Amino acid sequence: MRGRIADAFANAGVTGSLHAVDIDSGAELDLGADTLVSTASLHKLCLVTTLFREAEVGRIELSRRVELPAGAARSPGGTGVAAMLDPVAMSLRDLASLAIAVSDNAAADALWDELGLATVNATMAELGLTRTVAVEPLRELYAGLRQDAGPDGPAALVDPAVVARLRALDPNRSNRGTPRDLTRLLTAVWRDEACGGEYGTGLRRVLGLQAWSHRMASGFPFDDVRVSGKTGTLPTMRHEAGVVEYPDGGRYALAICTRSASTEAALPAADAVIGTAARMAVDALRAG
């Protein structure tokens, strides 16, 4: 199966790493599962898990409202609060929903400001994610992208020479993790080990809100199969980590991270192969 998944990646014009695990039995399938990658927006999984874990022990009140001012101080992005023009006030819980549902960078950075990098990193260490580390909020990541792109701005990001120098793509200089760490996190969330009771239920609800269905969810086009996931995207990078739940009770955590040979922003085959690889891995786990 590992060979078939590697062939699927190659046919889509990407290299990829994958980890898939049956949440209940522990059976697993890996393809470069310990490869260190830049996590991009996948790190929002770590962020919102920390938020709900902190709320469970009473250090955070999820309903507390914060204000995100308009203007240049707001983190960039094309969705959610990041795309809005006026000041916005909402609860920490609703900011978490936007950070996952539409990958809202401004909402996520409000949570980074609330929690701090050190708290998120300490939480990941407590959960056993030994290679998952955040070094910067999203506003700093995108500032670095702008600086590295140079005077031509976003248009330069299709130039392979420019892409090669982007610090955001280097896991030694950016937020980072591994596919195995990401499935360990998702397994802890679905087993109520990250947080329990109403907080575990609330966290899983938030992680089920993602609006994008063109990657992992594309491999499971069934009304009775639930896919909860989070994408991560930067030039040449397309990732997704999530949980696939079958009506018979089967639960599978997956993390799939890819790099494309092409620098084009629109590569449908590179997106779709994440769903293909996820389906192949889950079918293998279900077959025993």
What is the spatial distance between Cα 14 and Cα 6, in angstroms, rounded to a whole number? 9
Instruction: Show me where the domains of the chain are located.
Output: 2-287
> What are the CA-CA distances from residue 5 to residues 12, 31, 49 (Å)?
11, 8, 29
Which class is 2-287 in CATH? Answer: alpha beta
What is the spatial distance between Cα 69 and Cα 61, in angstroms, rounded to a whole number? 21
For residue 254, which of 204, 183, 205 has the smallest C-alpha distance? 183
Strand partners, 93: none
Contact 52, 203 (CB under 8 A): yes
Q: What is the pLDDT of residue 73?
A: 80
What is the spatial distance between Cα 129 and Cα 169, in angstroms, rounded to a whole number? 20
What is the chain's pLDDT, residue by residue, as a tens digit (288 residues)?
999 999 999 999 999 999 999 999 999 999 999 999 999 999 999 999 999 999 999 999 999 999 999 888 888 888 999 999 999 999 999 999 999 999 999 999 999 999 999 999 999 999 999 999 999 999 999 999 999 999 888 888 889 999 999 999 999 999 999 999 999 999 999 999 999 999 999 999 999 999 999 999 999 999 999 999 999 999 999 999 999 999 999 999 999 999 999 999 999 999 999 999 999 999 999 998
Q: Is the pTM of this model over 0.85?
A: yes
Q: What is the pLDDT of residue 181?
A: 98
Locate 4 and state its tokens. Answer: 């078939």
Three-state secondary structure readout of 126-150: HCCCCCCECCCCHHHHHHHHHHHHC
For residue 109, which of 61, 185, 41, 52 has the smallest C-alpha distance? 41
What is the spatial distance between Cα 250 and Cα 279, in angstroms, rounded to a whole number? 13
